[in-house]
Every structure is written in C-alpha cells, then in structure tokens.
Amino acid sequence: MAEILVGIIQGLVIILLSPLITGIMRKTKARTQKRMGARLLQPYYDILKLIKKDEVISDQSSWIFRICPWVNFVALAAAAFFIPLFLTYSPFGLAGDLLLVIGLFALARFFTMLASLDVASSFGGLGSSREMMYSALLEPALFLTIFIVALTYGGTNLSTLVTEVSSATLLPHPQLIFAAIAMFVLVLGETGRLPFDNPSTHLELTMVHEAMILEYSGKSLALIEWSQAIKLLILLVLVVNIFVPWGISSSITIPALGIGFVSLFAKISILAIFIAYFESSIAKWRLFRIPDLVAVAIASSMIGIILYYIK
Amino acid sequence: MVSTQLSILTISGSILIIATFSVVARRGFIDWLNAYRHQSIVLAGVTAIIGYITGIWEIYIAAALTLIVKSIIIPKVLTYVTRRLEIEFKTETNPYVSLRTSVIISALLVGLSYFLTQQIPFKSDPVVNVLLPVSMAQFFIGLFVLVNRRTVLSQVVGLLIIENGLFLFTMVLTHGVSLIIEIGIFVDILVGIVISSILLFRMGRTFDSLDVTNIENLRDD
Amino acid sequence: MDSVFSNLTILLLFLTPVASTGLVTLFRKKRIIGVITICSALLILVQVFVIVSRIISEKTITAFGNMFYIDSLSTIILLSISIVGFVSALYSKNYMGRQYDHGTVDDKHLVRYYQGFNVFLLTMLVIPTANSMGIMWVALEATTLVSVLLIMLYYKENAIEAAWKYLIIATVGLSFALIGTVFFYYANINAGSADDAMNWTSMVHNSKLFNPNLIKIAFIFILVGYGTKAGLAPMHTWLPDAHSEAPTPVSAVLSGVLLNCAFYVIIRFHIISSNAIGPEFSNQLLIIFAVISVGIAAASLYFQKDMKRMLAFSSVEHMGLISLGIGFGGLLGVYGALLQIINHAIAKPLMFFASGTISQKYETKAMSKIKGIIKIMPVTGVLFLIGGLALVGMPPFNIFLSEFFILSSGFQSGQFLATSLVILFLIVTFAVFLRHLIKMIFGNPVVPMKKDDMGKLAIIPMMILGALVLILGVFVPQQLQTLVQNASTIINHGGFA
Amino acid sequence: MVENLSLFQLVVFLFASGALLGLFSRNSRFTRILTFIPTMIGSFFTVIFSVSVILEKPFQLMVPNLLPFINFEIKVDGIAAFFLLLISIVSFAVSLYSIGYSKEYEAKKRTSVFGFLFNSFILSMILVVASNNSFFFLIFWELMSLTSFFLVIYDHDKEENVKSGLTYLVMTHFGTAFIFASFLLGYIQTGSFSFDAFRNSSSSFPLLTKNLIFLFAFIGFGTKAGIVPLHIWLPQAHPSAPSNVSALMSAVMIKIGIYGIVRTVFDLSGFGLSPEYSWWGLLMIAIGSVSAIIGVLYAVIEHDIKRALAFSSIENIGIILVGFGLSVVFASFNLTTLSALALIASMYHTMNHSVFKGLLFMGAGSVVYATHTRNMEHLGGLIKKMPWTALLFLIGTISIVGLPPFNGFISEWLTMQALLSSYQIPSIILQISIAFASLPFALTIGVAAATFVKLFGISFLSRPRSDTIAKIKEVPRSMIAGMSILAAACVLLGVLPFLGISVITSAFHILSQPINPFDTIILQNSFGKSFANLSMPVVVIMLLSVAIAIFGFIKVIGGKTKKTTFSTWDCGFGNLNERMEYTGTSLSQPIRVVFKTLFRSHTQIQREFFGDHKYILRTLKVESFTKNIFEEKLYLPIMSSSIFIFDKIRKIQTGKINAYLLYIMITIVLLLLFVRLSHNV
C-alpha cells in the first residue's frame, strides 16, 4: 500500500514540480542574457491564469484541435507515474516500461501535429512538417540509446533499470558515456530546445513547437504548456536517474526518501541550469543541419553498442 | 561383285555429281532444267544398275518411273508453267554467293558427305559404299542451291535435286522399300511439284516476278 | 487381334472423311457441305471414342495384316485429331459463312475448302494409325500438300508467301525425315528383319540389335526433319507465317493437331532409338531443341503485331514444352508431355477460334487496333481470356497441369539448368503474351461498335473447348488417365505396354 | 471432426453461392445483397471453423484420384487456422462494407461480375491456406492472384489500371515460379507432392536442399508479401483496385505470403535449434528492415492516399519479417522462450496489420467514394463532412503508427523487446548486427508517424482544398459498420493483448504466458529479473483516471469559461484561404530533403515575367518530381536489356526463305558433325 502511495506521490511530484523546472531554466537563460527574468514560480502563475481564461477557437478546427491538449496532458502525466523519481522503483512500473513512456510521448506529439494541421494556417503546417522530421530522425537515436541502457542494466523495465543503476558502481561501463552524449542530444530534441527549436520565439523561420500550438489559448494552452513542462522533467529525471544515480533511495523510509528527493532536486536543477546555459551559448541551427546533429547522436549510440558487446 | 560393275557404279556416281554441279554453276532456268533432266536420266541408269546388281525386279520399275516422271513429266510441267507466266525469270541474276564460290562450297559439301557417311556401317556393300556419299552430296548441294538462290524457280530446282538425292539414297541403302510406300513417295513428290507450279503461277500473277524478295513480307523485324 | 472388327474399325475411320469429301464434291451447295463436314467430323469423333474404349481394354488394335497398328500413344493423337477436327468443322460453318457473306470467298472456294478440310483430316488420321513408318511419312507429306492448298485458298499475297515458305521448308524438312526413316529401315534390315522392316512394331522388336552409330545419325535426321514439321526451333520459321495466314479453322487444326502428328512420329523414333542406344542421346537432343524453341518463342512474342502470328509462336513454345517433357523422360515427364499434347490441342484451337471471330468483328488482325473485346463481345472475350491464360500456364486451366508435370520431371531427372532456363522463358512468355492479350481484351474500343458475339455457331465450339480447358485443369477422367498412363509406359518401356 | 467437415463444406458452399448467385440477378441492388450476404455468412462460419480448429485439433480432408499422381488434400492446422481467422475477420468486415461501397461501380459495371470475383478471391485465399498439396496449393495460389488481378483491373477503362494490374500479375507469377521451384526441390527429395510428405521427411533433407527450398520460398512468397526489391507491383496494384479489394489484398492477401514463409520455415523444421539455420533469420531481418524503411520512406512522400497505404503495407511486412526472422535466429541458438516471444511479436503484428490496414483501406475507400479522388492535395476538411469515417480512420491511423493504447503499439513493443533480447545470442557478430538492425526499425516507426500525420492531417483536417469537397456527404451506414468492426478490433487488441496472444499461442502451440486478461506480459532478463513488462489494461485505467483527475482539476480551478469561435490567426492580413495551407508535398518536404538520394527528387521552376521586367513575376510554376529508384535502377534496366535481346532474337524471322533454309542446314550439319566427331573420340 505504501508502495502505491509513494508511486502516486512520485508521479504527482513530477507533475507539480515541472513548471518550477521550466521556471529555473527560464530564469537562468534570462540571467545569462543579462536580464532579470520573471520569477521562478512564474510558470505556475501562467498556468493558473490561463486556466481561468476564455478560449478563442479557430472556426476551421474540429474536435481534434479541442481534444489535443487533453490527450497531451493525459499521456504525459500518465507517463510520469512510470518514472522512478527518488525511489529506485515505481509500483506502476509493472504495468509499463520505458518503451511505453516513449510511446506515450509519441502519442502526445502525434496529436499535437494533427491539431496544428487542423486549423488550416500555414504556421501549423510548418511546425508540423518540421516536427515530423525531428521526431522521425530522433526515433532511431532514442531507440539505440535505450538499447544500450537496457542491455547494460538488464531491461527496459524502469524499476529494474534504476535499481540496477543505483547498485552499480560509478560508470563502470564505457558505453554509457556514449549513451549519455546521445541522450543529451535527445533531450534537447525531444523537448524542443536549442539548437533544435527555440521555445521562446515566435518567428516563423525558427519556430517548430510554438508554430504548432499557435492557435491555442486559455485552458488548452495551459494544458499544453504544462504537459510540455512535464515532458521536460521526465526526460531530465531519466537522464539523472540513469547516468548519475547517487542518492536515490532504495527503500521506503522517510529519511532515505528525503535524501533521495533532495539529491534528485539538486541534480535536476543543476542539469536544467546547465542546459539553459548551453542553450544561451549557441544559436538555433538551420533546419537541414539538424540531421547532422542527430547523426552524431546515432553514431555515438552505435559506438556505445559496439563497446557494450566488445568489452 | 564384279569389278566392272563396281567401276560402272563409280563412274555413274561421278557423273551424277557432275550433273549436280552443273546445276550449281549455271544461271539460266532452261539450263538447270536440262541439267536436271540429264541428272535424272543418269539416276535412272544407276537405279537400273542397282537393280541388275541386286536382282530385285521392283527396282526396274522404279528406274522406269524415274525416267518417265523425272526426265519427262516434271520438266514438261515446269516448262509449261514458265511459258504461261510470260515474265522475266530466265536467269538467276543475283545469288547470295557468287557462282565460283558456290562451286567451291559444293565441293566442300561433297567432302563433308564423304566424311559424315564414314560412320555408317556398310557391311561391305559396294553399292552403298560408292553411292551413299554421292546421294548425300546431292542432297546437301540441293539444299545449298535452295539457300543460295533468289528466284523461286531455282528453289524448285533445288528441291528437285534434293529429291533425286533422296531417291538415290533410298535405292542405294534399301533397294527400294515396299512398293506402296515407293508409289506413295512418288505421288507425293509429283503432287508437290504440281502444287508448287500452281503457286509459281499465282506468284507470277500476283507479283509479276519470281524473285524471292517479293515474298519477304511476313517477318518480325 | 487382327479381327474383321478391327479391319472394319479402321476402314470406317478412313471411309468417313473420304465419303464426306465425295459428298461435298457431289452437292457443292454452300448450306449442305458445311453440315456434311460437321457430321463426318462428329462421326469420326464417335469412332475415335469407340477406339479409345477398345484401347483401354485391349491395349492395341492391329488391322489389315500389320499395316495398321493402334496403341495408347496413337490413340492420344487420334483423340486430339478428332476433337479438334470436330470443333473446327463446327466453327468453319460460321466462319466461312461470314467470309462468304463478306465476299472474301465464293462458292468455288467454299467447295475447295471443305474438300481440302476433309482430305486434311483423312491424311492426319492415317499418321497415328499407320504401322509403317513409310506410310507415316507419306501421310505427313500429304498433310503438307493439302494444308498448303488450304492456306492459299484465297490467293492473297501473304497467303501465297506463307504457302510457299511452308511448302519448301516442310518439304526439305520431310526429306531429311525420309533419310532418317530409311536409315532406320536399313538398320532393321541389317538386324535381320524381312519384308515388314518398315513397320514400327518390327523396328521396336529388333531395336536392340541396331547399330548405334547408324541410329545416332538416323535420329538426328528424324529430329531435324520431323522437327521442322513439328515446329521446333530453329526449324520453326515457316510456322508463324503459315499458321497466321491460313483460314482460322485450318490454323486451329495446323497448330492444334498437325504439329502433334509430326511430333508423334518423333516420339515413335525416340522409342526405337532409346531401345537401341539408350535414352540419353535422344533425350539430350530433345531437351536442347526444346529449350531453344521455348526461348526463341518467348523472345519473339514480344514484338508481335498480328494476333494469329502471336498464337503461332505460342505453338512453337508448346511444342518445345512437349519435347521437353519427352526429353526429361521418366513417368512424370512423359505423362506431362502427353497430357500437354492433348491440352495444347484443346487450348490452341480455342484461341484461334476466338481470334478468328474477333478479327472478323474488328476487321483486322493487328493487335494495336483491337481494344475492349470484353465490352464488344463479352462471351468471346471471356473465352479468349480463358484460352490465353491456359496457354501461358495459369492454373486452374489444363496446361498448368501438364507443365507442372513436365517441369517436375525436369527437376527429378536432374536437368536443373534446362528446367530453370525454361521456367525463366515461361515467365517471359507469361508477361509478354498476357501483355498483348490484356491490352486487347480490356480497355475501350478504338471505334465504337455494336455489342455482338457473332452468332451461336461461333460460340459453341469455343464453349466446348473452354469447358474442356477448365475441367481438365482440375480433373482428369479415369479413362484418360489410364490411356495416358499406358502411353507413357509404352514410351518408357521400349514400345510395348 | 464431423462438425468441422460440414462447417468447411458449408463455407465453401457459401462462398461459391455468393460468387454465382449474383450472376443470375439483373437488379443491381438485389445483386449486391445476393453476393455479399453469403460472403458475410461464409466469413462468419470461417471464423467459427478456425477458432474450433485452433482450440481443438487439426482438420484434414482428402479426395484421391481427381488427377494423376496428385490427391486433393486439405489440412487446417493451428497455423493455417490462425491465418484463416485473419482472412475471415477481415473479409467479414470488408463484405459488409462492400454492400454500400459497390454502389460506386453500379452505374458503370456489373456488380455481379464483381461479386463473382470477390467471392472467388476470398474462397481461393481460404483454400490456399487450407491446401496440403503443392499442386493444389499452386492452383489456389494462382487463382488468388488471378481473381485479385481481375479485381485490380475491374475498372479497366483507365489504361493505367490495366498496366498496374499487369505488373502485378507478372510479378506474382515470377514469385510463383520460385515457389514452384521450392516445391519441386521438396518433391525430388520425397517423390510426393503432398506437404505431409515434406513435413515428415524434411529433417532428412540435405542442408543445401533445405537452404535452397527456404531461399526460393522466401523469394516466391516474399514477392507476394511485397518485400523490397520485389515490391514494385504493390504500390501500383493496390491503388488501382477498388478499395474493398485493396483492403482485402493489403490486409489479407499479402499475409498469405507471410503464411507461406512461416509455413515453409515450420515445415522444414527451420526452428531447428542449430546455428546452421540462423542465416534464414538474418536474411529475413535484413530484408525486413530494408522493406520497412524503404516502404515507409516512399509512403511519406506519397500524395495518393491508397498508394501511401500500399507503401505502408510494405513497411509493415518488413516489421513482421524482422520479428519472424528474430524468432528463427533465436530458435537456431536454442533460445526457445525468446523465439516464442519474437514469433508472437511477428504474428501479433500480422494480425494487427490485417486489422488496421483493412480499416485504413476501407477508410480510404470511403474517402474515394465520397470525393472521387485519391489525391490528398485535393482533399481536406473531411472530418466535418464525414465525422464517422474520420473517427474510424483516426483509430486506424493511431494503431498503425503504434501508439498506446491501440493494437499497433503492442506488436511493436513486442518486436522491440525481441530486438533488445538479441543480447542473449551467443555470437557477437549477430548481436551487433541485430542491434544495428534496430536502427532502420526505429527510423521506420518514426517516419510512419510522420506518414500518417500527413495522411490524416492533409485529407481530413483543415480547410477543403478543392470546391468539390464542399458538397460531399458521409458514406452509407453499411460502410461505416464494416469499418467499425475492424476499428473495434484495433481497440480490443490494444487494450487486451491477452486476446491476441492467447490465439497465437494456442495456434502455434507455444506455452502461453498471460493466463488471464489482466496478467502482465513479463519478460525476464538473463539474471531472472524483470526485463520488461506491460499491462495494457492497467495503463488504460491509469490514462482514464489521469484524464478524469485533470478534467476535474481544470473544472474546479478554472470555473466556467467561454469558448469563442473566430477565424484562424492570419497575421492581420485577412483572407486566409485554402491556397495558403500547407500541402501534403510541403509537409513531407524536410524528410524528402533528408533522404534525397532515395527519391532523386528534383524541382522544375518555370518563371514568367511581366514584359521586360526582370524582377516582377507574372506566374511562377513549381513542379516537384520524385522517382522510384527501384523502378529506375533495377526494373527499367532489366526491361530494356531484355527488350534488347528480344529485338536481336526476332531478327531470326527475317522473312527470307533462304535464311530459314540455312538455319535448317546449319542445324543438321552441326549435329551430324557433332555425332561424327564424338564418334572418333
């Protein structure tokens, strides 16, 4: 019973904490750009504000447009429950594994792409078209990375995986370095960070994700923003828990869980800040240079696989 | 077997080949027809000799038939047809291979016939021994004439030479198969000649010429 | 064996077409002579069925001393002659009637046509019934002459050309065949046979004593000679011309049966040669000619413009397949080849009839001008399609069965190269032949035309053949199985069942 | 057994009557009912028949003496029954659909002919699967090809349909030749044409023979299944066929190619527990990966809905083959559990693909039925006019893309797990190469998503792209019903994978893992811990509860809000029209650019200026082409070189009688010389 409770708490924590991480990243970016930036908690205010607002809906749109935010949120929030956060396992892990999480991500993205086409604006098509390419290209890199991780730690079952990680000594596996490189590119790509996409632009030359959700307002926009934040956090948690597992709790005791939570929060914040710095230091890449970056990810995960087998 | 008989056979075989060559080496239709007639007379003679040597009376009948059909009836039919046609057919103007080369090739074909027939066991029958290659040579030369010549009439003559070769071959090797078959063969050939004459006639009417180039429409290229 | 009854059977078989020819000459009326021919063909068919049933029980029939000899092998040929003869006679009525109405032929032509047709049947009937190889030769030469007459019925330019080529080439070929025959005769005499030395039964009997070297040469002459008449490549060159220029019912008989008759004689000699020198020699030769035939036919089909010419090339292909089956040998191969003889004799006339009707309707044989047959002549179109699919070896039609056996025996006898080549050629044939066919059958007609299937008498013979094509593909009657089985045994076991 | 026999006879009788009844009716409305109702009943009984075979025991029937040397033999074992089940479920739905759909052709053609071919097609598929004799197998196989060919060219007024039909027929015949060759190799080993004989003595075949049999069968059946590079008929034939036929062809007929491969491998004891067979699996994985990636990449650039679906079939066949190949590889290294996993994965995908591809083709058919165009650039906004079709099509789309919680996800998940498990193979080369095979596999899944976003988005969403779309109506109810059946199956197989898995396990006699519907699918790793697990019912419950929770949360926090409808954001310019929408071509442009070597795409731009002005354009015409490199680099050279050879050979027929006689002369002289010379030696 306690397990299930912890499991639910883990999921809820991800859902609730996610706007904060977004806030941290925004703040960092503002600071690197010599701006004050909004408050750390600004994303929460934004979401609450948007939830209360009226919506304007395109007259061209259909029910696909309307359900898309809900599907997004449901898929990503449900995915959150499968992720071991500060405990090495999640009881819901029995029902689904890493591949299911990826599947849920894909479901959300699929609907977003459809919804963006639904409103008959060229922005939507543009965003959708670029997203199509990204997602198609990132898929093999993602799967190969999962391949390495799953092989190294014996499964795509996240609980098994994280448990194994936490008991393993520090990076005994050279292949994981390459997996980490690939994973970093993947996180940037999956969450629409620079150089893939600029989450804070509204310039049609560079938008990808923003172009897709351009027509949303009110509740729908809130849901979409929120689910994006959840997705970002999930990916960060995965990176952290797979590659730097220190401090994670392996038993359900209050102190252990507390340590686990604190260390996790610290690690994630550092990672988020790092990504924000990284983003600030580079520019958005030209669309057709992106495949080169993805190719780097693929290549490094391929090297990882070879290293795994030929040790 | 008496040696004179053997030498007669050899000589008559040679005459046959020479007669065949005369068809190859000449241009005019009448010349061929005459050559064919001579050849047929020689053939009848050879047949009679074979009949004499083997002592089978049926061969005499065959010889007589040859004489009548080949040296009289067939040339008559062909002359009749060509006369009715009233077109320019008299000379073979343009064979594929020139006459000189034709003669050489014919000589080679004679050699080939000798070469090929060596394999056949003759049971030391001198008639077969001497005349089988001759008949084969005639056969091949006839075929060569057919291949080489460009007028329809000369093809008929080629066919006739082949037929003569065939006849000689049958006589030599088997001294005549049974009479019914022999007659059947004769009738077939006769009818064949008649039909080809009809065709010749029609062709002359339709194309106003007996050149094979007229009948090269049915093709695939 | 040699009973009065047997003599009567044979006599009656020959008398029927003779009488029919006589009656045609006597009456000379357009309406009657067609019916007379149909009746006589039907009568022949009935007689052949009687012979079939006797052969199944008695294995052989001999008549008039040893002059006539019928066994299962000859019965198969007889069967195909009589079936095709009957349907062709049936079809002639409509076809020639239309030609008459169209003004292409007049009364004189018609009489000549029917006389020729009957004599043609007669000469063909002699071939499988004769025991003497000489008579076979004479009869085969006679078929050439009669069919030349039939081809040049209208004295059109192309017909004359085709007839001339046919006459010359077939005669040359047959003179080779005669040389071969005489060689065999000579071998038989040397082996000690007396006055029946020309008879096949005697040859088979003495075949073990034949001189091998002689037989090798003899068989080459036979194969090239009769092969010319049977349309094996590269001696097939006359065939597309003759078969495409003949009046359609005659084309059907030429393609469906006459080729088989010529090949039948080859089979007879093949048996003797196999007895004398073992089957390898003749098998190899048959396979080589078969592969060349199928290959050349497959390649030649692509550029065809004339419908009937295309069918003629397909005949070359099928003769190649028959030859292949015999060459592969073994129970399966021979069985397949014999079935193929029957199947081809059924499918090819169907195609010729359909193409005849179609070209009458469209007033052209050029395939590029024929489109949308299925819309203009639905029944003929479907039958044409069935026949075409059968010819390219599509199941569930009959030729698939025989090709299946033939190719199976190819693998079984270890002739992998030849079989693979033939399979490749068959795929090419399939593609190329169907391409032509489908372009004609489907689509929209170039010029709008009235929907018309050209009368019942044109359809019925095709229906008969179409039904046979379909039925024999999935069901071979027990009697036919026994017959073909016995015939295969004859071929495989040196002549006697 | 008796019931099965009579069931089987009943099924054959029903299809035959469906084929023939229509031919006697003149009233076309009546004809439709007469032809398709028996089909539905027949399919229904086939479902019962196959389920009873799967649950009980194989069904066998033999009729001797129809033909010399050959008996008519029928045997339906579990494997056959599994495929029968697919055939019958899909054909049930499709025939229901056809009642409405065939109205489309009523004006032009006789529905009765269609009904005849349609029923014969389904019947021949059933009989192919049931055949137990190579001769009859080939008969029904070709009958299946033939009837489907006629169905493809049913609309033969269009010349291109006839052409694509012909390509189809020739390719399939090419395949048949290989199948035939593989049967013959079996025949020369056993001396019998019966599959039973092959099965019983296959263990004693020499290895070379076995390998050749497999190779030939793989090429032959693969042609039917549409493996690259033998796939070119597929994207031509499927669009040309009426959509109900394309549904059958794509959903079921190409699966019979898979059936053939599976059957061959099983009959040859390909699960031979010996590394000698591992190359079979590797070949299938390699070809499967290539097919998957090539298929999907051509699908994504396609703007003809049905062609895109056809290419996607190639992709899915690739995925199936990857799974099956893995199964063979695992078996050859004695990893039976993993082999079972991979087998389940591939068969599950087979089943799924039947269901959703049938659904999608029917959906595409509905679109064509309503709009009379297959070009998605002319479509758009259909979701408002045809809500039901759109919903059902969307279900199919989500399923085929492999998104949870629908069925495609399950099989792709299983296949991925099988790929991941390749680490247990005791060979480093194999481990690494299979790991790398997952690269094209994953790319396929990614591009598939793009393909179907495009397909659904461009055709169903946004503004109509042409005027004709404005007037269309939703399709008749029977068509919706037909689609709904398969859509329901999509959902059911997704939410309750237990259903599909237990059918497969009992059909293939594998030890079943999940025993009740809520059991988790558990895979274990080499040290006994859970490698991966999945419990779809729980996932669905979680999704639902999250949905309810967030819905409540938003309602409580947000209170009542208003929704205003307004035109799409146009940057303030106004007059946003359909020409400003993204087209399908531009949507897939990035992917086309990334994989440009494969498409050889090039663009032609024609500019027309105002008078002498060099800068002011009057018109600008952009044409973009893509080419199929397989047609261009493989088939065209083969065609042109064979035509070159034909051209040389036809020269034989010169028309000159002298030449003809020369051939004869040369032939005889050569032969005589040959005999003469060989005599001396």
Query: In terms of pLDDT, which residue wins out, B199 or C349?
Result: C349
pLDDT class of D355 with cuts at 50, 70, 90: very high
Q: Where are the domains of chain C?
A: 4-136+266-492
Q: What is the mean pLDDT of chain C?
A: 91
- Provide the shortest C-alpha distance from residue B76 to chain D (in Å): 26
**Amino acid type, B200:** L
Q: What is the pLDDT of residue B4?
A: 79
- Residue A227: the pLDDT is 93
Provide the pLDDT for residue B183.
78
In tens, the pLDDT along C261-270 reads: 999 999 999 9
* Segment 222-251 of chain A within 8 Å of chain D by CB: 222-223
Is residue C439 within 8 A of residue D212, CB to CB? The reply is: no
- State whether A310 and D531 contact (CB < 8 Å): no
Q: Are A297 and A146 in contact (CB under 8 A)?
A: no
Angle between helices A218-243 and A254-281 (to 10 degrees): 110
Among D674, B119, D665, D670, CA closest to C215: B119
Compute the average pLDDT of residues D306-333. Answer: 93
Q: Which residue of D645, D676, D680 is the best one to mutate when testing the B interface, meaning the one whose CB has the most B CBs within 10 A?
A: D676
CB-based contact B221 D673, cutoff 8 Å: no
Q: How far is D442 from D434, CA to CA, in rounded Å? A: 12
Residue C421 tokens, joined: 């080549």
Which of A101-110, C70-79, C96-105, D28-37 has the lowest average pLDDT? D28-37
Residue D673 distance to chain B (closest CA, Å): 7
- Partners of D146 on chain C (C-beta within 8 Å) are 389, 394
At A59, is the secondary structure helix, strand, or coil? coil
Residue C40 has pLDDT above 70, yes or no: yes
Kindly report the pTM of this predicted structure: 0.93
Helix (H) or strand (E) holding A79: helix A63-80
Please judge whether D658 and B148 are an interchain contact, meaning their C-beta atoms are less than 8 angstroms apart. Answer: yes
What pairing do the DSSP bridges indicate for beta strands D563-566 and D602-609? unpaired
Mean pLDDT, residues C19-24: 93
User: pLDDT category, C242, cuts 50, 70, 90?
Assistant: very high
Using the Cβ of A32 and the Cβ atoms of chain D, whether some distance falls under 8 Å is answered with no
Q: In the predicted model, what is the mean pLDDT of residues A139-153?
A: 88
Give the percent of chain C with pLDDT over 70. 99
Q: What is the dihedral of CA D393, D398, D404, D406, to 10 degrees?
A: 40
In percent, the amount of chain C with pLDDT more than 90 equals 68
pLDDT in tens, D127-179: 999 999 999 999 999 999 999 999 999 888 888 889 899 999 999 999 999 99
- Indicate if the pLDDT at residue D517 is higher than 70: no
Q: How many whole angstroms separate alpha carbon D429 and alpha carbon D282?
A: 11
Mean of pLDDT values over C203-227:
91
pLDDT digits (tens, 9 = 90+) for C318-332: 999 999 999 998 899
The mean pLDDT of D289-297, rounded to a whole number, is: 93
Distance CA D149, CA D144 (A): 8
Per DSSP, which regions of chain B are E strands?
none
What is the pLDDT at residue C59?
Answer: 87
Q: Say yes or no to pLDDT of D58 above 80.
A: yes
pLDDT tens for each residue of C111-151: 999 999 999 999 999 999 999 998 999 999 999 999 999 99
What residues of chain B score a pLDDT lower than 70?
Answer: 1-2, 86-93, 121-124, 176-177, 221
The structure tokens 């904060």 sit at A20
**pLDDT band per the 50, 70, 90 thresholds, residue D681:** very low
Q: How does the average pLDDT of chain D come out, rounded? A: 88
Lowest-confidence pick of D322-336, D341-355, D456-470, D598-612: D598-612
In this prediction, residue A172 has a pLDDT band, given cuts at 50, 70 and 90, of: low
Q: Is A265 on the interface with D (CB under 8 A)?
A: no
Task: Report H helices in D301-406.
Answer: 305-332, 336-371, 382-385, 387-401
> What are the pLDDT digits (tens) for D625-648?
777 888 888 889 999 999 999 999
Separation between Cα atoms, residue C152 and residue D432, nearest integer Å: 75
User: Does chain A reach chain B with at least 3 CB pairs under 8 Å?
Assistant: no
Instruction: Of D375, D443, D442, D449, give the one whose Cα is nearest residue D598.
Output: D443
Is beta strand D602-609 parallel, antiparallel or unpaired with respect to D617-625? antiparallel
**β-pairing verdict for A55-58 and D563-566:** parallel
Question: Rounded mean pLDDT of A285-298?
Answer: 89
User: What is the predicted ipTM?
Assistant: 0.91
Judged by CB atoms closer than 8 Å, whether chains meet at B221 and D679 is answered as no
Mean pLDDT of all residues in D525-532: 73
Strands (E), A67-149: none
Can chain D be said to touch chain B, i.e. do they have 3 or more Cβ pairs within 8 angstroms?
A: yes
pLDDT at D423: 87
d(CA D188, CA D209): 10
- Residue spans per domain, chain B: 3-214
Phi-psi region of A252 (alpha: psi -120 to 50; beta: other; left: phi over 0): beta
Residue B79 CB: number of other CB atoms within 10 A?
Answer: 13
Name the band, by pLDDT with cuts 50, 70 and 90, for residue C66.
Answer: confident
For residue B162, list chain D residues with Cβ-Cβ distance below 8 A: none
Q: How many CB atoms lie within 10 A of CB D527?
A: 10
Question: What one-character-per-residue DSSP string does D52-110 give?
Answer: HHHHS--EEEEEEEEETTEEEEEEE-HHHHHHHHHHHHHHHHHHHHHHHHTHHHHTTS-
Q: Comparing B196 with C386, which gets the higher pLDDT?
A: C386
Choose from D648, D657, D669, D671 for mutation: most chain B CBs within 10 A. D657
Whether residue D351 contacts residue D504, with contact meaning beta carbons closer than 8 Å, is answered with yes
Residues 6 or more apart whose CB falls under 8 angstroms from that of C404 comprise C336, D135, D138, D180
Res D277: pLDDT: 84
Considering only CB atoms, which chain C residues are within 8 Å of D127?
Answer: none
CB proximity list for D133: less than 8 A, separation 6 or greater: D70, D71, D72, D73, D193, D194, D195
User: What is the predicted pLDDT for the residue at D518?
Assistant: 65
Angle between the N-to-C axes of helices D407-420 and D497-508, in degrees from 0 to 180, rounded to the nearest 10: 60
Determine the distance in angstroms separating the CA of C106 from the nearest CA of chain D, rounded to an integer.
30
Q: Assess whether pLDDT exceeds 70 at residue D272.
A: no
How confident is the model over C8-36, as a mean pLDDT? 90
Say if the Cβ atoms of D650 and B221 lie within 8 Å. Answer: yes
Which of these, C13, C139, C132, C3, lies nearest to C68 by C-alpha position? C132
Average pLDDT score over residue span C184-189: 88
Q: B124: burial class by Cβ within 10 Å (0-12, 13-18, 19+)? A: exposed
Burial class of residue C27, CB neighbours in 10 A (0-12, 13-18, 19+): middle
- pLDDT of D57: 83
Mean per-residue pLDDT of chain A: 88
Cis peptide before D239 (omega within 30 of 0): no
